[in-house]
Structure 1
Amino acid sequence: MKQFTRRAFPWPMLVGIVLIGFILRGPIIAVAPITGILRADLGLTAAEVGLLTSLPVLCFALVTPLASFFVGRGGANFSTTVAIIGVGIGSIVRSSGGVEAAFVGTVIMGGFITIGNVVVPVLIRRDVPPQRVGIVTGAYTSALNVSSMITSLATAPLAEAFGWHVALLAWLGFVVIAAGGWMFAVGPRAAFRFGPVAPLIETGAVDTVVIDTGRIDLRPTSAAEEARRPRTWRSASALLLALAFSGQAFAYYGLTAWFPSILVQELGFTVTAAGSSSSVFQIAAVVGALGVPLLSQRIGVPRTFALVAALWLSCPIGLLLAPSSWLAWGFFGGVAQGGGITIVFMLIVQLAVSGTHARGLSAMIQGTGYALGATAPTLIGAVHDATGAWGAPLAVVGIGTLAFTAAGLAGSLRATRGTRQSVIER
């Protein structure tokens, strides 16, 4: 299958994708800096407040198959619009009452964010030239982490000044901005049109050849090419990437939920100072998200993955052995988590041979990863409650980074070798 893309870079779509990234992590990460306030006001245990943090991730795992089906039926544009609106509704519900509203609103947010998680790789594959996939993916994952950084920095001060209800509702502003950016990217008519905009292209029923003059030639996919398309669950590369993403998600959500508490209990930080200081874990992710695409072009994906893995491993080990150097470990871990999710998403788009295949890969890898990642905040909180210290919980995080390292290195080697062979065959 040969595919050539438009020479003009789709800047409006890049803006839309980046702004959508702001609503897919930041609003749910906002809970982490105010776990102490929520525990006191709502009477929650450490495991229960960990569940409040992990519920969206659990939704990512459970709802991903339904989200993938919905994206296939509704089309990428309509599904993105629904995701944005749903996150806004969830934000309002979460901030409207007590324990029940907090949990129900969080579940609503998690369900619609899942649609966004699945659809963004489809948008990138559909609308972004192959040579720009790494940069756009890096910009998207940077947006995930910048929004998490902003909420980590600002939620605790807002909660202390106005209460936690207002502090969480404030991030509805991200949703409004994302909606405006998405309307700018595709227009209101396309945003609300149900069904794939170009179904033959999105499903891979035809190959797309875009000539320099702008003429689009559609060639039916041959039976031989159709037969060569990999079965997602039978692909060793996809399974290894799913395991790597599981380790990435587990370590990320575990540290995001409990890093502020570690600073409070181990180093004597105030709640506000801990929330602000722990944001380095989100800030540094921008370095990884934007640096990985550039570095992989120079030294290759497997070597880049090895560097990211080494930084990931240093974070829980460093916090365990030398917690006073938390700033260095938080920075290294932040670079690693931003680079880790970027490189996995790059490999998803690289492995995909059609829009349908991209959707399937995205759903399988993210669904599996988030299923395990969802257990991290609750499990780590429970281990801390049982031991009364942070040594054992950090060791549990270390297991996640080891899984990311081993499976990711093997998966990146297989995926890169497979892509090179596919190019030779074509």
Structure 2
Amino acid sequence: MTTSSARREPRAAAPSAGGPLLAVAVLLVALNLRGPIVAVAPVVDAIRADLGVSAAVAGLLTSLPVLAFAVAAPPASWMIGRLGPERAMLVGLAVLGVGTLLRSADGIAGALAGTALIGAGITVGNVVVPVVIGRDFPHRSGALLGAYTATMNVGSMITLSITVPLADGVGWRVALLAWLVVAVASVVLWTVATRRRRPGADAVVPAAGDEIGGPAPWRRPVGWLLVVAFAGQSFSYYGLTAWLPEILADLRGLGAGSAGVASSLFQIFAVAGALATPLVRNRTGSLRLAFVPVALGWLALPGGLLLAPAAWPLWCSLGGAAQGGGFFVFFSAVLAASRTTTENRRLGAFMQTGGYAIGALGPTVVGALHGTGAAAWDPALALVLAALVVLTASGWAATRPRT
């Protein structure tokens, strides 16, 4: 393939590998992309007691995967370019499976190593799925991206619901190992759904100057805008996910159990946001107009908790819908800014590398700004609000109409 022909490579160069079956496979893969990480949170106390580790060490079991999202995105993109999305996804699921086994093995070293592998395997899926959606479903990419985002949040909700009962009955190791069933099922369905597409058909070996996929994403203004916007989303999401129960307990005097249930609104409404935002985009014909309610909903959460904490159910619901819709908006912006499958892959990996690197700092930084007294959470919430102002400005610029 010559450089000039590669630049004209259509985003959906090959026919769909499996049609509806491939769409189902994408959604089943999506269940693997957050659930194995979220599963640790409900049983972290049992893990600490069993392994005899501090809270800081146990916290690595949830923060390591986010760091892996950032560190592993560039090599994942390279592997996808060499092997093609089909084979790369199978490699990612295999790594995820090995990590799941290792995490439940004896000892903290195995748990941490397994957690890192889980993060690396999920990273491959994070990059592959938007590429496959843009390539094989060009006329339904918005709807499938929304369903993909919603399914990831559904996976998190299912995990939070069943992990504790499972752990009570069979122990935390087996409860976390149960996710291996979903990974194996995903391998089987993905293999069947993609069997008619030649593996590696979309793989591109870069020519001199690495220009075959168009300009490098770091040389494009839209690339940096998406990094900044996605960083604001990730920082706010992970910072608030880690501390929202305690914030609500301190601001409203809720008990630990009530605060945990209350903060679940933030996760539940993400499903609504992920499904509604594509509808707004289709109805208005504008990704930028679909971004407006996302930005307003995000700003409402920390702003509302600062100014009117008594209305916390409203703020948590709006913020939850915004984080689900924001994920759709930013990956749709990657598709809109990509002329080829290669550009889609590289730009998506670039956005995730920078965004998740900043996002991994969220829980630590937000927690460090927690003070004492009546206004204990004001500095932390103000920082999250500032991050979301930056998200709003960069997201508005990144979602401008493109041809």
The TM tier, using the shorter chain, reads: 0.7 to 0.9
1:311 positional shift: 0.1
Q: Distance in 1 between matches of 2:83 and 2:17?
A: 27
1:5-404 mapped onto 2 (5 Å cutoff)? 10-38=19-47, 42=51, 47-128=56-137, 130-187=138-195, 196-199=200-203, 229-264=214-249, 266-267=251-252, 274-299=259-284, 300-384=286-370, 387=372, 389-404=376-391
Name the CA shift for 1:264/1:108 in 2 (closer, same or farther; >3 Å).
Answer: farther
**In the superposition, relative to structure 1, how do residues 354 and 159 fare at CA in structure 2: closer, same or farther (>3 Å)?**
same
Is residue 204–residue 355 contact of structure 1 (8 Å, CA) maintained in 2?
no
- Please list the CA deviations of residues 141-190 of structure 1 after superposition, one character each: whole Å capped at 9, or x if unmatched: 11111111212233344445544333322333332332233133123x86
Are the structure 2 counterparts of residues 136 and 88 from structure 1 closer, same or farther at C-alpha, using a change threshold of 3 Å?
same
Shift of the 7–17 alpha-carbon distance from structure 1 to 2, 3 Å rule, reads closer
Unaligned runs of 5+ in 2: 1-7
Shift of the alpha carbon at 1:8? Answer: 10
Q: 1:330 to 1:31 in 2, by over 3 A?
A: farther
Task: State the Cα distance separating 1:259 from its structure 2 match.
Answer: 2.5
Q: Give me the whole-angstrom Cα distance separating, in 2, the residues matched to 1:81 and 1:228.
A: 24
SS of aligned partner of 1:131 = coil
- State TM-score, norm by structure 1: 0.82
**267-276 vs 400-409, greater mean Cα deviation:** 267-276
Question: How well do the aligned residues superpose, as a CA RMSD in angstroms?
Answer: 2.9
TM score, norm. by length of structure 2: 0.86
Asked if the contact 1:64–1:114 (Cα under 8 Å) also holds between the matched residues in 2, the reply is yes
3-state SS of paired residue (1:144): helix
Do the aligned partners of 1:33 and 1:274 also contact (CA within 8 Å) in 2?
no
Aligned residue identity for 1:168: L
Q: How many residue pairs align between the two structures?
A: 388
CA contact (8 A) 1:86 1:108 kept: yes
Structure 1 counterpart of 2:379, one-letter code: A
What is the CA distance between 1:387 and its match in structure 2?
4.8
Residue 221 of structure 1 corresponds to none
- Take 2:380 and 2:274, find their aligned partners in 1: how far apart are those partners? 26
Which amino acid in the other structure matches residue 297 of structure 1?
N
Which segments of 5 or more consecutive residues in structure 1 lack a partner in the other structure? 206-225, 421-426
Describe the SS at the equivalent of 1:278.
helix
Deviates more, 1:149-158 or 1:403-412: 149-158
- The 1:297–1:395 alpha-carbon spacing in structure 2 relative to 1, beyond 3 Å, is same
Q: Distance in 1 between matches of 2:276 and 2:145?
A: 11
Secondary structure of the 1:284 match is helix
| Contact preservation (8 Å) 1:248, 1:340 | yes
**Contact persistence 1:34–1:271 (CA under 8 A):** no
Does residue 409 in structure 1 map to residue 396 in structure 2?
yes
Distance in structure 2 (CA, Å) of the matches to 1:30 and 1:347: 30
- Report what 1:219 is aligned to: none
Partners of 1:45 and 1:381 in 2: CA distance? 17
Residues 1:95 and 1:399: Cα distance change in structure 2 (over 3 Å): farther
Quote the Cα distance in structure 2 between the aligned partners of 1:287 and 1:277: 17
